[in-house]
Structures are given as structure tokens and as C-alpha cells.
Amino acid sequence: MSIKRQKYIRLTLTYIVILAMFAVIFYPLLWIVGSSFNPGQSLSGSSIIPKNATLAHYKELFDTNQSPYLYWYWNSLKVSVLTMVFTVILVSLTAYSFSRYRFIGRKNSLMTFLILQMIPNFAALIAIFILALLTGLLDTHLGLILVYVGGAIPMNTWLMKGYLDTIPKELDESAKMDGAGHLRIFFQIVMPLATPIIAVVALFAFIAPFGDFILARILLRTEEKYTLAVGLYDMVAKQFGAEFTTFAAGAVLIAVPIAILFLSFQKYFVSGLTAGGTKG
């Protein structure tokens, strides 16, 4: 078999695998989008290309008299944005401390973070629920935000520390010789250079709470405080209210802020992930 023929076969197999992956990933998404435009509430007659497409389900979601969807959307945005902001601030400070300073317990703390990131949040659901109950944070967005921020710190600290380790420490030393203090070095020298990894951490910190169901379901009790995941589940879980096509429309709209944020941070995403994977 000639080299040219072997190359052609490998290229063909590569494209087949890629097309198969695209089909597996995009077919459910296209089906959900198509279902959101189908009339009625049943999914049995839904198709990717609706025969009688309608925007009735989207209008229903935006009508506050028929559905509290907009309140759920606002709750999710509020929780996700605040989680993102607090996570970026705390992770930046923590990762900078581990990257630039040597102190007693540093290695043990890093090892603890490594172990904590291996334990999923739902493994501590009972403890989280009891803690929220005792502190009066049950059925509050603040309690949910604190849980999300605490859960995001270990993994993202390791990720950002790996990136900060690649920034030459000679820059810090030069700034110190010019009279710069620790905070000035952090804000004016290190953080501007760490923009790619900050964008990555911000994206992760936003996506996780925006689509989370388990923790929000455990901590939130009243309908007006539901996030999108809990609210949409409640929409289809009611005994006589299985509004599946409306659920599909709501699920499609969930992707909008995530897509906007991803496109905004796209130029930083690859460099932030690859550099953050280095060992320091």
C-alpha cells in the first residue's frame, strides 16, 4: 500500500470519527431546539424541523402572569455572576500566595486542596444542608453562593497557581527594587499578565452554578427563589403540568449567557488552560 493511499485512509477515518462525534453532540441539541418550536406540550410528535413552528412557548416563558421563568432566570444570573466575581477574587489571592510565598503548611495546604477537589459537592449534601439550616442560610441565594464559591476554590487555585508559576519572579523583584509593595505588584504586574487564566476561572465559575441542579434543589425551598435548573425541573415534574415543549424552550434560552461569556473569553481560553496545566 502506497504512502499516499495510507494517508488518504487515515484522513478519511479521522473525518468519520469527527462527524460521528458531532452527530452525538449536536443531535440532542438540535432536537431540543426543534422541540421548542413545536406546538402543543407533548414531545411525541416533536421533530428537528417543526412542521408548524410557533413561538408560543417562548412568549409563555416571558409572560410573568403565566410562568415565573424570568424570575428564575434572574436568580440564576445573580447567583452565577456573584459566584464568578467572588471566586475570581478569592482564587486570585490564594493562588498568588501559594505561587509567590513560602510559608509553614504550604505543601500540606496544597495537598489538602488536591484532595478536596476530588470530592464532589453532592457527597457532602447532608452536611451542607445542616450547616445552612444552623446558620439561617437555608432557602437563600447567599447560602447557595457561598457553597459554590467554596467548592470552586480548590480546583481553580491549582489551575491558577500553575499559570502564575510561569510568570517570571524577576518581574516582582524588579518592581520591589522600584519601591512597589505587595498589593501593587499583585494588581499592576501579576494580574494583568494572568488575564487568560482569570478568564478561564471566571468562565468555569459562571457555568457551574448556572446549570447546577442538585445543590440548588437541596437549599432552595420557595418557587420565587428557584434557579433555572430547579424551576424547569419543577415545570415538568408537576403531576398535571408536564410542559415538555415549554421546558425545551426554557432549556434553549439557558445557553444564551453561557455562549456570550464563552465567545467573549474565547481568545483567552486555550492559552489559559494549557499554561495552567504546568507544574510549579
Interatomic CA distance for residues 62 and 84, integer angstroms: 26
Interatomic CA distance for residues 197 and 164, integer angstroms: 9
Cβ contacts of 174 within 8 Å, gap of 6 or more: none
Select from 22, 37, 57 the last residue of a domain. 57
pLDDT of residue 63: 86
Interatomic CA distance for residues 231 and 70, integer angstroms: 10
Q: Are residues 74 and 181 in the same domain?
A: yes
Confidence of residue 129 (pLDDT cuts 50, 70, 90): very high
pLDDT of residue 145: 95
Q: How many domains does the chain have?
A: 2
Q: Are residues 160 and 50 in the same domain?
A: no
Q: Are residues 107 and 160 in the same domain?
A: yes
Q: Are residues 92 and 21 in the same domain?
A: no
Over residues 20-37, mean pLDDT: 85
Over residues 64-83, mean pLDDT: 92
pTM of the model: 0.83
pLDDT of residue 146: 94
Place of cell 473525518: 15
Span of 24-28, 46-50, 55-59, 93-97 with lowest mean pLDDT: 46-50
Asked if 162 and 98 count as a contact pair (C-beta separation under 8 A), the reply is: no
Q: Are residues 53 and 28 in the same domain?
A: yes
Which residue intervals of the chain are DSSP H helices?
A: 3-36, 56-62, 69-100, 106-116, 125-134, 141-164, 170-177, 182-185, 191-193, 195-211, 214-219, 228-237, 244-276
- The three cell numbers of residue 244 are 415538555
Q: Are residues 27 and 69 in the same domain?
A: no
Domain of residue 31, residue span:
3-57
pLDDT of residue 89: 95
Single-letter code of the amino acid located at 228: L
For the chain, percent of residues with pLDDT exceeding 90: 31
Q: Are residues 89 and 40 in the same domain?
A: no
* Residue, of 271 and 71, whose pLDDT is higher: 71
Residue from 193, 166, 199, 189 nearest 270 by CA: 199
Q: Are residues 109 and 187 in the same domain?
A: yes
Is pLDDT at 277 greater than 90 in this prediction?
A: no
Interatomic CA distance for residues 136 and 132, integer angstroms: 6
Q: 3-class secondary structure for 194-214?
A: CHHHHHHHHHHHHHHHHHCCH
Select from 19, 41, 57 the last residue of a domain. 57
Check which CATH number belongs to the domain holding 82 and give it: 1.10.3720.10
Select from 16, 32, 57 the last residue of a domain. 57
Over residues 191-217, mean pLDDT: 90
* Residue, of 278 and 195, whose pLDDT is higher: 195
* Residue, of 41 and 71, whose pLDDT is higher: 71
Over residues 104-112, mean pLDDT: 87
Q: Are residues 102 and 118 in the same domain?
A: yes
Q: Are residues 146 and 30 in the same domain?
A: no
Is pLDDT at 71 greater than 60 in this prediction?
A: yes
pLDDT of residue 278: 45
pLDDT of residue 246: 83
Over residues 258-263, mean pLDDT: 88
Q: Are residues 44 and 137 in the same domain?
A: no
Confidence of residue 7 (pLDDT cuts 50, 70, 90): confident
Interatomic CA distance for residues 98 and 9, integer angstroms: 49
Mean pLDDT (the chain) is 85
∠ CA 276-266-61, rounded to 5° = 120
pLDDT of residue 84: 95
pLDDT of residue 37: 84
Q: Are residues 87 and 149 in the same domain?
A: yes
Confidence of residue 228 (pLDDT cuts 50, 70, 90): very high
